[in-house]
C-alpha cells in the first residue's frame, strides 16, 4: 500500500520487522547517505552496500514506493525541503560556516518534529512518571544530553541517578537498578560500548528502557522504547538540538502531570528556581 506522506525514516521504522538483513543494510545506507541514495543508480548503491541490484529494487517496493525511481525522487524532495536559503558569503568565511551550521541544526529539529510519534513520547512520559528511580545514561557526545536530562528530571522526580564512568563507579551504580526503575539512555552512531553495557544490564534486570537514538537500526531499537531523532551534521560531531528538544518536551509533560496532581507545583518550582538564582547573584 502506498504511503506518500511518510518520510523515509518513518517508512523504515514501520516496515523494519519486514526487512531482511540486506534490506536493513540498505536502510542504514540511505539514512546515513541521503544525497548518495538520491543520486546513485541502483547498481552503484548495491555495490556500495554489498547486495544485489534486485535487492535495492525490492527494498524500495517493501517501503511502499512505486519503485526505485520513486524512492529516489522522494529522498530528493525531502533533501530540498530541508534546504534553507542562506545569504551568499565568500567561501570559507566564518559567517558562512556559522550560517550553515545553524541551518543544519534547524533541519535536524524540523525533520525530527515531523517524524516523531507523539504517542510514543506520551508512553515514555508515563514510564518516567511511574518509575521508582530514573537512571540516565549517555556517553561521549551524548553525555551532555544525559547531564541535562538528569538535572531537569531531578526537579520533577524524587529519585534520579546520572550514570557516568568517572572514578570507575559505573558498574557499582548500575548494580542498584531494579525492575521498578526506568533507564533513559542517549546514544547515536557511533554507538558507545558503555551505553550498550548499561542497556544490557538494565534489560537483564527487567527495567523499562527509553532510548533516544537515531533510527530503528540502532542497537537499542529491538529491546527499548525508542524516540527517534535526527543527529547527523556535516561536521565530525553529532547535533544534539533535536534530542534536547525531546528532553525539554518530556520534562514539560512531567511538570504538567505533577501540577495536576499537586496544584501549584509548577508555580512553586518556578519560584524556587528564580529565588535560588537571585540568592546566588552578586
Amino acid 147: pLDDT? 95
Q: Which domains does the chain have, with CATH numbers?
A: 8-82 (1.10.10.10), 118-279 (3.40.50.10490)
CA atoms of 171 and 261, how far apart (whole Å): 35
pLDDT in tens, 76-102: 887 776 554 444 444 555 566 677 667
In this structure, are residues 167 and 141 in contact, taking their beta carbons and an 8 Å threshold? Answer: no
Residues in the chain predicted with pLDDT less than 50, given as ranges, are 1-4, 84-90, 278
Amino acid 183: pLDDT? 95
Can you give the pTM of this predicted structure?
A: 0.67
pLDDT in tens, 63-77: 989 999 999 988 888
Amino acid 89: pLDDT? 45
Amino acid at each position: 500500500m502506498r504511503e506518500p506522506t511518510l518520510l523515509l525514516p518513518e517508512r523504515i521504522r514501520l516496515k523494519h520487522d519486514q526487512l531482511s538483513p540486506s534490506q536493513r543494510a540498505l536502510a542504514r545506507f540511505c539514512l546515513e547517505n541521503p544525497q548518495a541514495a538520491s543520486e546513485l543508480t541502483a547498481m552503484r548503491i548495491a555495490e556500495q552496500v554489498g547486495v544485489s541490484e534486485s535487492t535495492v529494487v525490492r527494498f524500495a517496493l517493501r517501503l511502499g514506493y512505486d519503485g526505485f525511481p520513486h524512492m529516489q525522487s522522494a529522498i530528493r524532495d525531502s533533501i530540498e525541503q530541508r534546504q534553507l536559503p542562506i545569504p551568499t558569503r565568500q567561501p570559507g568565511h566564518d559567517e558562512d560556516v556559522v550560517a550553515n551550521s545553524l541551518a543544519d541544526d534547524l533541519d535536524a529539529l524540523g525533520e525530527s518534529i515531523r517524524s516523531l510519534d507523539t504517542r510514543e513520547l506520551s508512553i515514555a512520559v508515563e514510564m518516567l512518571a511511574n518509575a521508582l528511580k530514573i537512571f540516565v545514561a549517555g556517553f561521549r557526545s551524548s553525555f551532555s544530553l544525559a547531564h541535562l536530562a538528569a538535572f531537569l528530571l531531578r526537579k520533577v522526580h524524587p529519585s534520579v541517578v546520572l550514570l557516568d564512568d568517572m572514578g570507575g563507579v559505573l558498574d557499582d551504580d548500575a548494580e542498584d537498578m531494579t525492575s521498578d526503575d526506568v533507564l533513559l539512555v542517549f546514544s547515536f552512531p557511533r554507538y558507545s560500548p558503555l551505553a550498550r553495557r548499561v542497556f544490557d544490564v538494565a534489560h537483564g534486570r527487567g527495567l523499562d528502557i527509553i532510548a533516544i537514538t537515531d533510527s530503528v537500526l540502532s542497537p537499542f531499537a529491538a529491546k527499548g522504547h525508542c524516540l527517534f531523532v535526527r543527529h547527523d551534521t556535516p561536521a565530525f560531531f553529532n547535533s544534539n538540538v533535536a534530542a534536547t528538544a525531546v528532553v525539554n518536551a518530556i520534562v514539560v509533560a512531567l511538570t504538567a502531570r505533577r501540577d495536576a496532581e499537586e496544584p501549584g507545583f509548577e508555580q512553586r518550582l518556578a519560584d524556587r528556581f528564580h529565588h535560588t538564582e537571585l540568592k546566588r547573584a552578586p
